[in-house]
Amino acid sequence: GIHVAKKIDKLGMRSSDTAQIFFEDVRIPSKNLIGEEGKGFTYQMLQFQEERLWGVATVLTPLETIIQETIDYTRQRKVFDQSVLHNQAVHFRLAELATDVELLRSLLYRTVALYVEGNDVTKFASMAKLKAGRLAREVTDSCLQFWGGMGFTSEVLVSRFYR
């Protein structure tokens, strides 16, 4: 029969239920069979490349927004009669983060182009997913530092993404 395991309590993507589904000795009419019998796991693993690419694509805009909001905040926030953004180290770090986001976008675009051409993109999709996760942590942590005490409040976007 069909058995659904306990729902997995995830840290992120909480609006999407995730659980294992087991099919044991379930009869499927041949007209309803998708692909070859016994190849479901392989098909799902191939489909994960699309999910990895989607995940990378969905993180780009929030990261850009966090960086831009931090630029705007550090431009208007004054310390010792100068904007925080006027500090070369702050300016450089934000430019470095924006560059990393653009590099990730380039990797994503290249990987999608290869995928559309029918190539195996497992390596590049995995690389992009890895970089997206690490960059999300790096951008939120770095930007949060420039917000000072305000970054610890729920009023600013960066604190939400940091959590």
Query: Which SS3 state, helix, strand or coil, does residue 21 take?
Result: strand
Each domain of the chain, given as residue ranges in start order, spans 44-162
pLDDT at 66 over 90: yes
pLDDT at 98 over 80: yes
Residue 121 gets the label, from left (phi > 0), alpha (psi -120 to 50) or beta, of alpha
Tokens coding 139? 């951008």
Q: What is the pLDDT of residues 122-155, one digit of tens each?
A: 999 999 999 999 999 999 999 999 998 888 888 8
How far from 69 is each of 72, 113, 146, CA to CA, in Å? Answer: 5, 31, 11
pLDDT at 14 over 80: no
**Whether 151 contacts 158, CB under 8 Å:** yes
**Whether 55 contacts 132, CB under 8 Å:** yes
State percent of the chain over pLDDT 70: 100
pLDDT of residue 125: 96
Which residues partner with 82 through β-bridges?
A: 79
CATH assignment of 44-162, among 1.10.150.50, 1.20.140.10, 3.30.420.10, 3.40.190.10: 1.20.140.10
Q: Which residues, in sequence order, are CB contacts of 47 under 8 Å at separation 6+?
A: none
Tokens coding 132? 């997206």
pLDDT at 68 over 90: yes
Give the H or E element holding residue 4.
strand 2-4
pTM of the predicted structure, to 2 decimals? 0.80
What residues are labeled active site?
Answer: 51
Neighbours of 37 (CB within 10 A): 9
